[in-house]
Amino acid sequence: MLNVLVASSKGGCGKSTLVTQLASHWAQDGKHTAIIDVDRQQSSFRWAARRPETVPGVLAVEGSRKAVDRLPDDTQRVIVDTPAGSHERELEPYLEHAHAILVPVLPSPFDMDATFDFLTHLKDIARIKRGKLPVGVVANRLKPWTRASQDAVEQLKEQSPFPVIAQLRDSQAYVLLTALGKGIFDYNSEQVRSHQEDWKPILRWLKRQQ
């Protein structure tokens, strides 16, 4: 079972986008996939409930200290959607089972500052400090043709204590598909496939953590 924790310094940075898109990919890949939604907004939980019968289902459960233990035995992929700005005490019940942590960040000064503080905090968590729990940073909602996004990615690469493993472009496709309980991996159109390419570095990085 691969267990991925998605955490961030603040709300609105794309945690639930990471969670739901990864869930749709693994479900389409035939993996028994579960979401543990610890976030008070329960966005990922509601997304899973909206998934239509025409696409593979994703199990979603509300977060609790024993949530992982209550998952079906045949669960192959688990993604934990944590509350924004969680610290070690809040993450502790889920860190024990995690194989990797993903941290999304937006290319704005406020988000970058908050993320660097959060990453510094993560660096001091015992399992991470010992190199037993890898952390990957994901630059999210980028407009790659703009100087602001380019500068933000360079700053992340220079100042982050953890690797920037992927860059995701800003797209309304995520918003539209989320409302339907779907993800970009539930489609195969040419336009959607171009967005799927953005996710390949994340998927390769996570595969190495199994």
Query: Per residue in 145-172, pLDDT tens?
Result: 888 889 988 998 999 999 999 999 998 8
pLDDT at 138: 96
pLDDT at 90: 79
Structural domain includes residue 100: yes
Distance of alpha carbon 92 from alpha carbon 183, whole angstroms = 29
Structural domain includes residue 38: yes
pLDDT at 67: 84
Selection from 31, 23, 68 nearest residue 48 by Cα: 23
Specify which residues 3 forms β-bridges with.
Answer: 78
188-203: per-residue pLDDT in tens? 777 778 889 999 999 9
Low-confidence stretches of the chain (pLDDT < 50) are: none
Q: Which two tokens stand for residue 123?
A: 């660096």
Residues spanned by the domain of 140: 2-84+94-207
Structural domain includes residue 160: yes
Structural domain includes residue 104: yes
Structural domain includes residue 89: no
Q: Which two tokens stand for residue 149?
A: 């996004």
Kindly report the pTM of this predicted structure. 0.93
Q: Which two tokens stand for residue 159?
A: 């100042």
Beta carbons of 149 and 113 less than 8 angstroms apart = no
Number of domains the chain contains:
1
CATH number for the domain harbouring residue 67: 3.40.50.300
Structural domain includes residue 25: yes
Structural domain includes residue 194: yes
Structural domain includes residue 47: yes
